[in-house]
Amino acid sequence: MKEVHFSEDAVRAAAKSIAGARNLGVFIGSGLSLASGIPTYRDATGSYVDPEVARFSQTSTFETDRQAMLFWYEEKRRKLKEVHPNAGHHALAQIAKMIPTAFVTQNVDGLLDRALVEADADAEVFPLHGRLVRNRCHVCRRLENRDVDLSEEPLCRACGGSLRPDVVWFGEMLARDVWQGAMDSFTEIQVCLIVGTSGLVYPASELPELAESRGVTLIEINTVETTLSDTCKHVLRGHAEAILPILADELRSMET
């Protein structure tokens, strides 16, 4: 993979902006989990260009080919057990221990949650597109945390509807409570850190735009220019797992 260089002075300047804030919002895309072995989604080499991924991201496919779709997601769950949070996830967990932080993530892998638990970090996490490891009923939307094999087409204990992964497919609305919580948090933050996202998926990308409209300081970490780059005060070009630990170290040094 081509190495993208970044300036440590630029990281230091971004850290000063965060250190001077009352609270922090972090808007996360698939680039954060790339180093854990999970492909990105929307860029030129992202998983969405795979016809199978595109097909199984559609609500309509669940109606027309339910068995194949549930088998595919069960395989995704199995593979998820083999990956782990990377240095970027762990650095964000450390940052959350230094400054009150609200995380809004478009990722469904749950790796950030695992890093926060490992670090004993208390932070709000709003998973806009759901969590792959959870189940919910396709009919009544009731969440079920019991361990089931989706390929066996399990049924909801409440209504008898089909259980499915608790992820948002194209053609579906975001969970209202999660979206409202994310919106509320981004009306309060003073600094917004944008990590590994193209800024192309809506309505999620309305959140950094909301922050920018309020005069919030935006900081971007990405390997490439995005639709959000021009609105950011600090743009750090590089991989999240390389930059975030340096950012966390800078913040820690400012505490002492």
In the chain, CATH 3.30.1600.10 covers: 41-82+133-167
> Active-site residue 234, yes or no?
no
CA atoms within a 13 Å half-sphere pointing along the CA-CB vector of 185: 25
pLDDT value of residue 1? 33
Q: What is the pLDDT of residues 237-251, one digit of tens each?
A: 999 999 999 999 999
pLDDT of residue 4: 41
Percent of the chain with pLDDT strictly greater than 70: 94
C-alpha to C-alpha distances, 128 to 103, 131, 174, 176, nearest whole angstrom: 10, 9, 6, 10
Q: Strand 130-137 to strand 163-167: parallel, antiparallel, or no bridges (unpaired)? A: antiparallel
Residues 6+ apart with CB under 8 A from 173: none
List of residues 6+ apart from 249 with CB closer than 8 A: none
Residue 146: predicted pLDDT: 87
CA gap 196, 221 in Å, rounded = 6
Q: How many CB atoms lie within 10 A of CB 35?
A: 19
pLDDT (tens digit, 9 = 90+) per residue, 111-150? 999 999 999 999 999 999 999 999 999 999 999 988 999 9
Q: How much is the pLDDT for 52? A: 85
- Of the candidates 131, 124, 128, 129, the residue with the CA atom closest to the CA atom of residue 103: 124
> Taking the CA of residue 84 as centre, how many other CA atoms within 13 Å lie in the half-sphere pointing to its CB?
4
The C-alpha atoms of residue 247 and residue 24 are separated, in whole angstroms, by 14
> Which is it for the CA torsion 131, 137, 142, 148, positive or negative?
negative
The CATH architecture that domain 41-82+133-167 belongs to is: 2-Layer Sandwich (3.30)
On whether the CB atoms of residues 132 and 77 are closer than 8 A, the answer is yes
Q: Tens digits of per-residue pLDDT, 183-212?
A: 999 999 999 999 999 888 889 999 999 999
Helices 111-119 and 87-98, axial angle in degrees (round to 10) = 50
**Which of 89, 90, 129, 239 is labelled catalytic?**
129
**Integer Cα distance of 26 and 31 in angstroms:** 13
pLDDT digits (tens, 9 = 90+) for 33-64: 999 999 876 555 445 457 888 899 999 999 99
Count CA within 13 A, CB hemisphere, residue 244: 28
Q: Can you give the pLDDT at residue 194?
A: 98
The CATH architecture to which 1-38+85-129+174-256 belongs is 3-Layer(aba) Sandwich (3.40)
Query: How much is the pLDDT for 255?
Result: 82
In this prediction the pTM is 0.92
Degrees, nearest 5: CA angle 77-80-81: 100
Neighbours of 133 (CB within 10 A): 18
Type of residue at 125 = V
Instruction: Spell out the residues 6+ positions from residue 113 whose beta carbon is closer than 8 angstroms to its own.
Output: 125, 131
CA–CA dist 34, 238 (Å, integer): 12
CATH 3.40.50.1220 spans which residues of the chain? 1-38+85-129+174-256
**How high is the pLDDT of residue 209?**
93
